Amino acid sequence: MPSPVSLDIPAAMQAAVYRGEGRLCLEEVEVPQIESGEILVRVAACGVCPTDIKKIHYNTVAPPRIFGHETSGTIVQVGALVRGFEVGDRVGLHHHVPCMDCHFCKHHAFAQCATYRRTGITAGFEPSGGGFAEFVRVMPFCLPGVVRIPRKNSFLEGALLEPVNTVLKGIRQLGLLPGDTVLVCGQGPIGLLFTRILSIHGMRVIATDLLPNRLVLAKQWGAWQSIEANEHQVAESVGRWTEGRGADAAVVAVPNDGAVWQAQSAIRGGGRVLLFAHTVRDRQTSIDLAKICVDEKALVGSYSSDFTLQKAVARLVFSRQLDVRPLITHTFHLAQTSEAVGLAAKPTAESLKIVVTPGV
């Protein structure tokens, strides 16, 4: 095999290894060896995502694993067959990339594509993202998801490309026209991204949350109106603000069934409710199906990122038209990954996006 171009790379590294039952242990593991079609990235930053929390705290996959998929860093080794990337490039990564050729991809259902569902970035063990480690290996089918970070932008911004992509993908499901009104339920990091991106696109956002300071934040992030997520009042107020019509769409960015019912009541006939946070399987809830059939209020879901939006997302984030920097309230060293995930799982009034920084 031709020898790859590289910087000095150690044989061992630190990683936060998932050992089951909610435990993340700092361990020394081997630095991944790349094949000729792969690259090795020194991780600078990796965001903590609710899907990591789900896997760690609900034991949905078998240990050992190294999680973390909102990753940015520097390319330190390039396989001999790889074109278009160089050692020293600062990059943001996408751990899922669709094949663009299968039945699902032809229907734009990228998150259901078999290639997309394979995780192509790893720091060792069963590939699981690997961003909570010092180095990750990027497999050939994930190279199209490697995005260069401009010099003026930070690794932290690069680490937010993937979550921003998932939000933009969700917005595309809503069938909105400029000037439409959208209810965004929940103003955590994801809800605030919805609020901001919708307002950038000319929508009037009505933001709800249980925490008063999050409502203030929502206004700063572009919300037109904000209201406490108190069940009875919300649909009434939305009606008042929309000439009695109801919102054109609603985004449910909290895993709360009450918020789904509230969203269904607060939108107009023919509107759409987007589920974005209901990721735990086998939970059931009751729903008034006539709202869907007679009122034509569609209930849609969106999960994960859309490869075809990568360029638009990079422009949005790196131009700072969407400035993601204020979203990051906490950074943790790699050794404190467990604390980082703990805080993300039980956010405080002040905490928003939490990022682990193995190398910033």
Residue ranges that bind Zn ion, judged by CB under 5 A: 49, 98-99, 102, 105, 113
Instruction: CB nearer to Zn ion: give 162 or 180.
Output: 162
Report the alpha-carbon angle 129-341-21, nearest 5.
85
Residue 271 — φ and ψ, nearest 5°?
-85, 180
Q: Compute the least distance from the CB of residue 105 to Zn ion, in Å.
A: 3
Q: Compute the least distance from the CB of residue 296 to Zn ion, in Å.
A: 31
Instruction: CB nearer to Zn ion: give 79 or 170.
Output: 170
Sorted by sequence, the CB contacts under 8 Å of residue 244 that are 6+ apart come out as none
Residues of 200-211 as b/e, b for ≥16 C-beta within 10 angstroms? Answer: eeebbbbbbbeb
User: Which ranges of 201-230 does DSSP label H, i.e. alpha helix?
Assistant: 212-220
Q: What H or E segment, with its residue span, contains residue 242?
A: none
Instruction: CB nearer to Zn ion: give 95 or 297.
Output: 95
Instruction: CB nearer to Zn ion: give 131 or 342.
Output: 131
Instruction: CB nearer to Zn ion: give 105 or 161.
Output: 105
Strands in 232-352 per DSSP E: 247-252, 267-275, 298-301, 328-332
What three-state secondary structure class fits 26? strand
Q: Is the distance from CB of 199 to CB of 222 less than 8 angstroms?
A: yes
Instruction: CB nearer to Zn ion: give 79 or 131.
Output: 131
DSSP bridge pairs for 92: 72, 147
Q: Compute the least distance from the CB of residue 79 to Zn ion, in Å.
A: 23
Strands in 172-316 per DSSP E: 181-185, 204-209, 225-228, 247-252, 267-275, 298-301
Q: Compute the least distance from the CB of residue 322 to Zn ion, in Å.
A: 17
Residue that the structure tokens 């086998």 belong to:
282
Q: Compute the least distance from the CB of residue 240 to Zn ion, in Å.
A: 36
Sorted by sequence, the CB contacts under 8 Å of residue 78 that are 6+ apart come out as 4, 5, 6, 39, 85, 86, 87
Instruction: CB nearer to Zn ion: give 106 or 201.
Output: 106
Q: Compute the least distance from the CB of residue 91 to Zn ion, in Å.
A: 17
Q: Is the distance from CB of 318 to CB of 157 less than 8 angstroms?
A: yes
Q: Compute the least distance from the CB of residue 166 to Zn ion, in Å.
A: 7
Q: Compute the least distance from the CB of residue 191 to Zn ion, in Å.
A: 15
Q: What H or E segment, with its residue span, contains residue 340?
A: helix 337-345
Instruction: CB nearer to Zn ion: give 38 or 70.
Output: 70
